Structure 1
Amino acid sequence: MRGMDKLRAMQTFVAIVDQGSLSAAARALDSSLPAVVRTLAALETSLDVRLLNRTTRRIALTEEGRTYLDTCRQILSELQEAEARLAARHEAPSGTLVVTAPVLFGQLHVAPALYRFLRAYPAVKCRLLLNDRVVNLWEEGIDVGIRISPLDDSTLVAQSLGAIRRVVVASPACLAEQGEVTHPHDLAGKNCIRSHGGGFGQWRFWEGGREFVVPVDGNLEVSHGLTAIDACLGGMGYGCFLSYQVAAPMADGRLVRVLKDYEGPARPVNIVYPHARLLPSRTRVFVEWMKRELRDVSMR
């Protein structure tokens, strides 16, 4: 029995079992009873095994038939999914996409990339949820999340966007006024801008493979990262931020990175989404879009 004939025979066999009789299967397949009988007989002959015990009133699976039925269902299901995936590639993404990201990363990088995505795919609508807690994508109906942490949830698929570090920076004016530092302990007596994201009065460093904490102080304490960055740009003092938060001012020289040899290990940045054998085209296209858009931003 040839390949396509074998697939049609599998479909017929599954239909017979699901419908409960050969005549019902013939109606479901829009075929004739003799054609269904011939197909089943040819399948059993090609396998050299009896799949069904049948009388005029009922059918019953043999032991071999039960085993073969499971195999047929799996093969036909995978074939259907493969065809659906190919069809989805030709469909323009549409529908509603729900995305979550940390507040500052979302403001600085995710939102601008999302605006460009929506201009490219106008049939997609998006809800962007920015918060700094780790949300449960399944429970809260979220399609895609950006995570700055190792992935603990095995029910999610993670694709890497890069990695970030916590960095200490200062403006050229601050360095000229307060003097440069070569070791974290040199921060004692320096004006340090303390912020929620930076650890307030304790900044963490690494030396010789071990972490240590340095207490810092200054005349400004803020609860929001962007305000702390603005203060740092204005020459108020040293600041401690995640590298993506100050990537642009470091690149153009408005902020100078110091104490690089004492920075801690890199932290992964992932785009995550729930396991699914067939992703909606809007989710699949969005994930690939964000991988391209955010590929280099985290390590600048």
Structure 2
Amino acid sequence: MIPSERLKGIEAFVCTADAGSFTAAAERLNLSASAVGKSVARLEARLNSRLFERSTRRLALTDAGRAFYGTCVRVLAELQDAEAVLAAQRREPSGRLRVDLPATFGRLKALPLLLRFARQHPRLRPHISFTDRFVDLAEEGIDVAVRIGGPDRWAPGLGHRYLGSERMVFCASPDYLARRGEPREASDLLQHDAVAYGRADGEPPAWRMAQDGGPVRLLPVEGAIVLDSAEAQVEAVAAGCGIAQLATWLAADALREGRLVEVLPRLAAEGLPLYLAWPLSRQLLPKVDAVLEMLGGSLRID
């Protein structure tokens, strides 16, 4: 059995770290500053670690305090979620919802859906992050992640749902094609400037080439321009800097507006898969179940 004083110490510690002082934390907790300070002091004594650097102006977390703070925040969030699960009569999605999205696809495609979802559920407090790296959902306290691409094998504690795959097409601007000519064969691409997507610390850029009845072939690209932003890549191609291979969801507006045109359509290839991923331990939470149903039914890649 966990002593109630231990939980009180955690609440006082987290509130003090958030508020920046014992006095401000006391106001939030409806306690005296002395009671909050003593609670934190007892916690430090029990842990045999100093959690705050104390000065006349402000409290600051020590290295140990920052590490302990992250754990405490997750523990308190899980307690809150457990209460929500047990409160069966309250099925309205509520509380903090952590969603992680791919940077460009998330902003263009998933964010509008999530903002509408948040308006429909005013008790929900979405916390949305944008990253193209593969995060540890459990470690970082993420409820739902949208991912383009996926691991070879999903971790046992994760649920996932496949939502389709990208279609990759070759694009250029009308101005560029007027100056350099339109490629007719795959080999012609070698004579053109490439606007490639890549990262300084990642794998070399490569184009995905469809083959008749065979697997997609990867063709390494020596880009005239290499960008680590997909949106910047579209703008560079529209500005006449060269040819790029772009996902149709990314290039759709520029193609429709005529700023880009598709070339070599027979070489269009299937790209990376789109997934929803979530910790199985959180799936039955009303907020997680609802957002999975919404994204699973509305989020598509085309």
Give TM-score scaled by structure 1 length: 0.62
The offset of 1:252, in angstroms, is 4.1
Q: Using a 3 Å threshold, how does the CA distance of structure 1 residues 263 and 92 change in structure 2: closer, same or farther?
A: same
Q: Which has the larger radius of gyration?
A: 1
Q: Secondary structure at the match of 1:145?
A: strand
Contact 1:200 1:221 in 2 (8 A): no
Partner of 2:97: 97
Q: Is residue 288 of structure 1 aligned with residue 293 of structure 2? A: yes
Distance in 1 (alpha carbons) for counterparts of 2:277 and 2:111? 17
Q: Using a 3 Å threshold, how does the CA distance of structure 1 residues 216 and 138 change in structure 2: closer, same or farther?
A: closer
Distance in 1 (alpha carbons) for counterparts of 2:86 and 2:183? 56
Q: Secondary structure at the match of 1:204?
A: strand
Q: Is residue 226 of structure 1 aligned with residue 218 of structure 2? A: no
The offset of 1:211, in angstroms, is 4.7
Alignment of 1:251-266 (within 5 A): 251-266=256-271
The offset of 1:200, in angstroms, is 5.8
Q: Is residue 203 of structure 1 aligned with residue 203 of structure 2? A: no
Distance in 2 (alpha carbons) for counterparts of 1:92 and 1:212? 48
Q: Using a 3 Å threshold, how does the CA distance of structure 1 residues 210 and 289 change in structure 2: closer, same or farther?
A: closer
Distance in 2 (alpha carbons) for counterparts of 1:259 and 1:199? 25
The offset of 1:100, in angstroms, is 0.9
Contact 2:96 2:124 in 1 (8 A): yes
Output one character per residue of 1:146-178: Cα deviation in whole Å (capped at 9) or x when no partner.
122245214222223221133221122322332
Q: Is residue 149 of structure 1 aligned with residue 149 of structure 2? A: yes
Distance in 2 (alpha carbons) for counterparts of 1:266 and 1:292? 21
Q: 2:171 aligns with which of 154, 169, 172?
A: 169
Distance in 2 (alpha carbons) for counterparts of 1:286 and 1:169? 34
Contact 1:185 1:214 in 2 (8 A): no
Partner of 1:178: 180
Distance in 2 (alpha carbons) for counterparts of 1:170 and 1:200? 21
Partner of 1:248: 253
Q: What is the aligned residue count?
A: 213
Output one character per residue of 1:177-226: Cα deviation in whole Å (capped at 9) or x when no partner.
32222322111221221331797654332324155454545643333222
Contact 2:283 2:289 in 1 (8 A): no
Partner of 1:21: none
Q: Secondary structure at the match of 2:165?
A: strand
Q: Secondary structure at the match of 1:235?
A: coil
Amino acid at match of 2:192: K
Q: Using a 3 Å threshold, how does the CA distance of structure 1 residues 112 and 200 change in structure 2: closer, same or farther?
A: farther
Structure 2 residue runs without a partner (length 5+):
1-84
Partner of 1:107: 107
Distance in 1 (alpha carbons) for counterparts of 2:295 and 2:178? 39
Distance in 1 (alpha carbons) for counterparts of 2:176 and 2:92? 52
Q: Secondary structure at the match of 1:291?
A: helix
Give TM-score scaled by structure 2 length: 0.61
Structure 1 residue runs without a partner (length 5+):
1-83
Across the aligned residues of Structure 1 and Structure 2, the Cα RMSD in angstroms comes to 2.9
The offset of 1:85, in angstroms, is 9.7
Q: Using a 3 Å threshold, how does the CA distance of structure 1 residues 262 and 157 change in structure 2: closer, same or farther?
A: same
Q: Using a 3 Å threshold, how does the CA distance of structure 1 residues 136 and 219 change in structure 2: closer, same or farther?
A: closer
The offset of 1:266, in angstroms, is 4.2
Output one character per residue of 1:17-54: Cα deviation in whole Å (capped at 9) or x when no partner.
xxxxxxxxxxxxxxxxxxxxxxxxxxxxxxxxxxxxxx
